[in-house]
Structure 1
Amino acid sequence: MTDAAQCPIHVNAPTGCPVSTRAADFDPFSDGYQQDPPEYVRWAREQEPVFYSPKLGYWVVTRYDDIKAIFRDNLTFSPSIALEKITPTGPEANAVLASYGFALNRTLVNEDEPAHMPRRRALMDPFTPEALAHHEPMVRALTREYVDRFIDDGRADLVDQMLWEVPLTVALHFLGVPEEDMDTLREYSIAHTVNTWGRPKPEEQVQVAHAVGKFWQYAGKVLDKMREDPSGDGWMQYGIRKQKELPEVVTDSYLHSMMMAGIVAAHETTANASANAIKLLLQHPDAWRDICEDPALIPNAVEECLRHNGSVAAWRRLATKDVKIGGIDIPAGAKLLIVTSSANHDQHRFADADLFDIRRENASDQLTFGYGAHQCMGKNLARMEMQVFLDELTRRLPHMRLAEQRFTYVPNTSFRGPEHLFVEWDPSMNPERTDSSVREARAAVCIGEPSSHAVSRAVVVESVTACADRIVRVRLVSADGRPLPRWTPGSHIDVLCGDSGLSRQYSLCGDPADARAFEIAVLRESASRGGSAWVHDNAEPGASWRIRGPRNHFRLDETARKLVLIAGGIGITPISAMARRARELGIDYEVHYSGRSRASMALLDDMRALHGDRLRVFASEEGARNDIAALRVEEGTQVYACGPARMLDALIAASATWPDDALKIEHFEAKLGTLDPAQEHAFDIELKDSGFTLTVPAGETLLATLRRANVDVQSDCEEGLCGSCEVRVIDGDIDHRDLVLTNSERQTSQRMMACCSRAKGSKLVLAL
């Protein structure tokens, strides 16, 4: 917040803190916010991440970490105002609602504990990946039917002609509601959005109130009919059956409210998300072409679309006590607008966050579905529908393009998607006109968070240089000539070694500022498991390769006072990039490089030229050895090391006398075996943020158990090497089996790797 003496306007927040000009001007109903919420609040994300909006009467939160912390703590930050009218209506509109008996109660979206979680648990089963898989054939058939209607026309409004009605039909099918009155339900749904999150003018409020009241009555009538025969497969019938088991948990008023809210939640956000995604992909023709050519990219493309331009722009919370958010004092009773779309563009969480990259390795970290106990239960139904839509359209209309148009949105704070999406194509070029099998083909659908292992990139070998005995330096460029993703020192790529399914990780050793190419240096191992041999045999200029990444689980601390960078043999590859970066930043650093002989040491000439006296070379055939035990490490110094196991073991032993966590090591080989149920024990995990308890069987990993329960956790190597599946531990003793955490990190028992580590005892409490 600005200093009161410098405040350009005379407006204060309720705390007395002066409000900046930008904060005073913030208007989520303006066209700027509707068109591009993350861009509209960029200034806040970068300069004033938590601010008070006098126009709205809300505190606005814009950064990823702050918003995730709010989602995590649903006691301090109550969801109770999530469905409250953001614009109070007048007495005439209120009288209209009353005339319909409108009495929308708490739902899964806006209910506090202790009532919320028992209801969520009672109604969860139809949302598991296994249960949702049964709906895919219906979604597929319905999508094909709608595409059939316009495929020969050459032009369509995808919102009007497919993306509204198909998700609505799927929603009604999922809920068990008769598939009738489509147009009426669309009118009701829009009215509900405007009534809750919009700013209807006084003359519009009465009309909106009538539509919402009719919606309420419609939901009640359908529910009454279902009660006559609750044997159907729908979620509402499931709820009615659960009511008989748990009448105090699943009440009549609750079911009525969930019926109305469910129709909106199950279809409107999916319809908007799908329209946003297709618009975004067609605005990036290279990305559209990529998923046309490689449908395996579609699941991750969906995640990146949800991150970059999702259908949920913001949520609301109520502070139940005085609290700090991002260092700003927030008083009890304050209303919060948490702009999730802004969090999804936070540079601190997503590298090059404004770049639309369908191969982004952490795209599913997006907060569009929320997080924690109130995370969207229908997230995997939405993911599945979006994947089917993209598969059908890319296969049947790969030549589709956006028509000239101006996109408009229903003005509101929270839910956004274009009201129309006009596309064009040449029907004579439709693939199925020459190949009838195109219509019936289908790509595999991922129900749940996609694995990063499914996302690869085509590259071409530009040059190959022998840079030491049995070591080649390979320069890779994008197959389509586009720039490659930015990377940071310590990053690696996975090279997919042909069609065998084998992949190997190799650190990047070039210049991170070179966006045109990736460089790796690979030693041909005498006992190669296939990776290095494949690289050497296939490293020819012009050769086509596929890679994944880059990813970085060996990040350089650029705030360190001093860096000691230690490499053994081919371990120089990540260390070389770190040394280059330290030199650029002006950090005090030294490089220790050990090898059998100078002829066997890759990149040695480059390292000498760049680092001069800061480079210390230890060639064993010359009698020079690095005395690791004699290395002195002071407070503020970070040591990074990559090399053979013997060198790393010596460093681990020496680091016992160094400051805590001074040593960071890069491992490339796991020591994990297959889980043996006879040697393991089952244990319980309490998910504190989500509010339920699971059992991890003796023969199953924690990661697998979480996925089966519909809990999203990122993962990559699944061998305890990379750190991407880290979860926070609140209580319990951990059996650490990873090669990521330092000794002090293990001793604090606050973090574990879900892919391999387990509980020592009978229970762990996790921050999930």
Structure 2
Amino acid sequence: MVDQTESNDKGCPFGTAASAGAEHGCPVTDPTAMAEAFDAFEGPYQLDPAEALRWSRDQLPVFYAPKLGYWVVSRYDDIKAVFRDPILFSPRNVLEKITPATSEAQEILKGYDYAMARTMVNEDEPAHMERRRALLDHFMPENLEQQQDMIRRLTREKIDAFIDSGRVDLIDGMLYEVPLLVALHFLGVPEDEIATLKTFSVAHSVNTWGKPSDQKQIEVAHDVGRFWQYAGEIIEKMRAEPEGTGWMHHTIRMNAEIPEVVTDSYVHSMMMAIIVAAHETTSLASANMFKTLLTHPDAWNDICADPSLIPNAVEECLRYAGSIVAWRRQTTAPTTLNDVDLPKGAKLLIVQASGNQDERHFEAADTFDIYRDNAVDHLTFGYGAHQCMGKNIGRMEMRIFLEEVTRRLPHLRLSEQEFDYLPNTSFRGPDELWVEWEPVQNPERTNPNAIHPRRTFAVGPPARRDIARKVRIAEVRQEADGILGLTIEDAQGRPLPKWTAGSHIELCVGAYDRKYSLCGAPEDDSYRVAILREELGRGGSRHIHETLCAGAEIRMRGPSNLFKLDETAPHVVLIAGGIGITPILAMADRLKALGQSYALHYAGRSKSTMAFLDRVTRDHGARLSLYAGNEGDRMDLPDMVAGLEDAAQIYACGPKGLLNALETLTKDLPEGTFHFEHFSTSATGIDPEDEQAFEAELTESGLVVKVGTDTTLLDAIMAAGIDVACDCREGLCGSCEVAVVEGEIDHRDMVLTRAERAESNRMMTCCSRSKNGTRIKLAL
């Protein structure tokens, strides 16, 4: 399978419209025909899985593929829903051969006494969670820190070997062998002939996720059989070393202590599976990472200049071009997924690569952006009870690879080449990755100390404070009394990322980080925001008003959209109070451009304090109702709500009193009628003297975390190695929401409605806590 070096703009994997017989652009016009024609082993899916399933995300997110015999799931939320319920969507078929073995191949495997049993990746509850709890300690963040020096030493040794050559296949030179050595060291497995292990790994992948010919199955069966015997030999050697270190030694000791949980067959099967899982995915992901970054030179150069960007760059690479393309599940009962009825026993191919580029979750999802502040939401590591235990050691390796190479070879570039991939449903990475550079430009030739500095990254997901791009204030203007307008551009003159109505950015000015809604034109290369000076606020807006001027360089996070507009609603009522006009104006612009039905209500203390009044009147006059308080105008909120058409929706942003009133008036209307966004918070942080410690049981991970009086539930969960998305940490955005299984919650957020708080089936982990210090249970 061949893939030309990709450009920033992806081409259609189905070929040109002309060659497909389409007259106007994309040839994907019949989703049913596309579903029937879907082939996971050749064609568009092998070229670019995410792009190949764009038609599915847009038109048929759950479909049956007769050529594969699987239901394909392509949208982010659906994939996450499948991962979240390991009982209904069993992992039992994860390691099932997707291409049935021939009778001859089966006989060959019998000759090797091959008896692969369930491992943690494909095991049902309760056995899975019992074993996971027994074997989790080595993967905890605090226990992984000690691996960093070893990974860096191995990486430097490999770079030393090729630093002066000017050209190397990065996979052969570093990215295959280092992850394998790290895996063997972590597992406590004696280092063996690497070439042999590579043969075994490829055979295992082809055998499980590939489509080998009948003749190839014979060859693969022998390799898999030998791999099985090899794994058994390693186990016996390790049993003879009772004091040995490493995760497999720990597993063997647990086999002796709790044989009913960690069984003999499990130990043998896990040994074979983990040798592949612990290094193959990291090797492929690392190759994809370098290929992606070198194809996006602006991102590469930014990382070379600012290594603090590396952790999030790794997450964005995992999102944009992860090594795990798809995983599998099987239903244990009839169910419905995105309005599609699935029978008991239905086999699902859940394509994370597609979910990772779903516009419904990621802004400009098919754009590579190392500053994306929710890149960590990617599904490459899976989600829920079966999320990859080794995710943090994989992150650690990828970060060190990138830090060492960008520091020592910042002038690296891709060689001209074609990229070959092993055809299969689930794993993706090039067989070779040739790069080149001019050795005379190596920084260490003129500065020997260039080899020594290093940055140590904390184990776990990236620190959000580091995910900020440099921007410049292009223009400062007065939008209204007390309201400052800013035009913001990229500091290096690049186009800023595209955004959608309801999006916000976060400006980092001095010691202040503050969020502001975007209110310009989404197609512009620059951004516009409006900032109200709040004399009684926390000082951020005053500082911005007093210090920012045209030409100033600051940092910016985002854009993010946690206030998304439903563009399919038959009618939308937009309500803005004061500076709340900023996201509402962008929504009005979008609805007008779409030709949708809407009404805009805009209130302020006086017309002189109302930003964008001329623009609002000019562009939305026919749909606009203005309310200036000093002129005696007041919104009749009860009348607005009472006059709502069927299926109409309300979007509101403004002062707390306005939103509370609307919440009361809409409490009996259908769910999803009222949408709101606060632009301020009353949160003052944690006061240990006023808090109670409590415990949170994570039902899907089998962990219990202790939350002290001086920490948040969010921080306690992340310290346990569980990834939870987070943005504002003030209870404003809703990104850190988790499902509550049991317990009383002290809700302190500004996201949930009163009815949602009363149901108490979800909470914001950044600010909300257990009520009265009692234990709570969370679906994590």
Q: Is TM-score (shorter-chain normalized) higher than 0.5?
A: yes
The alignment partner of 1:258 has SS state of helix
Contact residue 175 and residue 236 of structure 1 kept, 8 A: yes
Task: Tell me which of 721, 742, 764 is aligned to 1:731.
Answer: 742
Q: 1:92 to 1:556 in 2, by over 3 A?
A: closer
The alignment partner of 1:305 has SS state of helix
Contact residue 666 and residue 673 of structure 2 kept, 8 A: yes
Task: Tell me which of 515, 535, 554 is aligned to 1:505.
Answer: 515
Matched, 1:755 2:750: no
Deviation at 1:647, TM superposition (A): 5.0
Q: Which residue of 2 aligns with 1:369?
A: 381
User: What are the ranges of 5 or more consecutive residues in structure 1 without an aligned counterpart?
Assistant: 1-17
Deviation at 1:94, TM superposition (A): 2.8
Deviation at 1:421, TM superposition (A): 0.3
Task: Tell me which of 516, 522, 528 is aligned to 1:519.
Answer: 528
Q: 1:510 to 1:20 in 2, by over 3 A?
A: closer
Q: How does 1:551-590 map to 2 (within 5 A)?
A: 551-590=560-599
Contact residue 485 and residue 515 of structure 1 kept, 8 A: no
Contact residue 663 and residue 753 of structure 2 kept, 8 A: no
Deviation at 1:629, TM superposition (A): 6.9
Deviation at 1:217, TM superposition (A): 2.0
Q: Which residue of 2 aligns with 1:478?
A: 490
Deviation at 1:270, TM superposition (A): 0.4
Contact residue 568 and residue 594 of structure 1 kept, 8 A: yes
Q: Which moved more, 1:528-537 or 1:348-357?
A: 528-537
Counterparts of 1:595 and 1:79 in 2: how far apart (Å)? Answer: 55
Contact residue 31 and residue 55 of structure 2 kept, 8 A: no
Matched AA of 2:732 = L
Matched AA of 2:168 = A
Q: 1:588 to 1:104 in 2, by over 3 A?
A: closer
Matched, 1:166 2:192: no
Q: Which residue of 2 aligns with 1:544?
A: 553
Matched AA of 1:711 = I
Counterparts of 2:705 and 2:331 in 1: how far apart (Å)? Answer: 30
Task: Tell me which of 709, 715, 729 is aligned to 1:718.
Answer: 729
Matched, 1:291 2:303: yes
Q: Which moved more, 1:643-652 or 1:526-535?
A: 643-652
Q: 1:190 to 1:588 in 2, by over 3 A?
A: closer
Contact residue 606 and residue 629 of structure 2 kept, 8 A: yes
Deviation at 1:747, TM superposition (A): 2.0
Q: Which residue of 2 aligns with 1:128?
A: 140
Counterparts of 2:321 and 2:570 in 1: how far apart (Å)? Answer: 39
Contact residue 633 and residue 659 of structure 1 kept, 8 A: no
Q: 1:662 to 1:302 in 2, by over 3 A?
A: same
> With structure 1 as the length reference, what TM-score do the two structures score?
0.91
Deviation at 1:692, TM superposition (A): 4.4
Matched AA of 2:724 = V
Query: 1:41-66: CA deviations, max 9, x gaps?
Result: 33333333333333333232222222
Deviation at 1:336, TM superposition (A): 2.3
Matched, 1:327 2:339: yes
Contact residue 728 and residue 766 of structure 1 kept, 8 A: yes
Q: Which residue of 2 aligns with 1:219?
A: 231
Counterparts of 1:21 and 1:670 in 2: how far apart (Å)? Answer: 50
Matched AA of 1:293 = A
Q: Which residue of 1 aligns with 2:270?
A: 258
Q: Which residue of 2 aligns with 1:436?
A: 448
Q: Which residue of 2 aligns with 1:239?
A: 251
Q: Which residue of 2 aligns with 1:229?
A: 241
The alignment partner of 1:495 has SS state of strand
The alignment partner of 1:522 has SS state of strand
Q: Which residue of 2 aligns with 1:22?
A: 34
Matched AA of 1:438 = A
Q: How does 1:242-641 map to 2 (within 5 A)?
A: 242-498=254-510, 500=511, 502-512=512-522, 514-527=523-536, 529-612=538-621, 614-626=623-635, 632-635=641-644, 636-641=647-652
Q: Which moved more, 1:358-367 or 1:144-153?
A: 358-367
Matched, 1:200 2:207: no
Q: How does 1:98-137 map to 2 (within 5 A)?
A: 98-137=110-149
Q: 1:302 to 1:606 in 2, by over 3 A?
A: same
Contact residue 735 and residue 760 of structure 1 kept, 8 A: yes
Deviation at 1:208, TM superposition (A): 2.0
Deviation at 1:329, TM superposition (A): 3.0
Contact residue 461 and residue 723 of structure 2 kept, 8 A: yes
Q: 1:203 to 1:596 in 2, by over 3 A?
A: closer
Query: 1:420-448: CA deviations, max 9, x gaps?
Result: 00001111111122222221222342422
Q: 1:664 to 1:84 in 2, by over 3 A?
A: closer
Counterparts of 1:490 and 1:20 in 2: how far apart (Å)? Answer: 34
Sequence identity of aligned pairs in percent? 56
Q: 1:637 to 1:62 in 2, by over 3 A?
A: closer
Deviation at 1:693, TM superposition (A): 4.2
Deviation at 1:586, TM superposition (A): 4.1
Counterparts of 2:66 and 2:590 in 1: how far apart (Å)? Answer: 44
Q: Which residue of 1 aligns with 2:752?
A: 741
Matched, 1:705 2:705: no
Deviation at 1:133, TM superposition (A): 1.3
Q: Which moved more, 1:610-619 or 1:70-79?
A: 610-619
Q: How does 1:619-698 map to 2 (within 5 A)?
A: 619-626=628-635, 632-635=641-644, 636-645=647-656, 647-648=658-659, 663-698=674-709
The alignment partner of 1:730 has SS state of strand
Counterparts of 1:560 and 1:34 in 2: how far apart (Å)? Answer: 37
Q: 1:22 to 1:665 in 2, by over 3 A?
A: closer
Counterparts of 2:659 and 2:242 in 1: how far apart (Å)? Answer: 64
The alignment partner of 1:407 has SS state of strand
The alignment partner of 1:80 has SS state of coil
Q: 1:443 to 1:599 in 2, by over 3 A?
A: same
Contact residue 451 and residue 715 of structure 1 kept, 8 A: no
Q: Which residue of 2 aligns with 1:62?
A: 74
Alignment RMSD, CA only?
Answer: 2.6
Q: Which residue of 2 aligns with 1:5?
A: none
Counterparts of 1:664 and 1:327 in 2: how far apart (Å)? Answer: 24
Contact residue 655 and residue 678 of structure 2 kept, 8 A: no
> With structure 2 as the length reference, what TM-score do the two structures score?
0.90
Deviation at 1:562, TM superposition (A): 4.4
Deviation at 1:613, TM superposition (A): 5.2
User: What are the ranges of 5 or more consecutive residues in structure 2 without an aligned counterpart?
Assistant: 1-29
Deviation at 1:227, TM superposition (A): 1.5
Counterparts of 2:667 and 2:78 in 1: how far apart (Å)? Answer: 35
Counterparts of 2:256 and 2:407 in 1: how far apart (Å)? Answer: 46
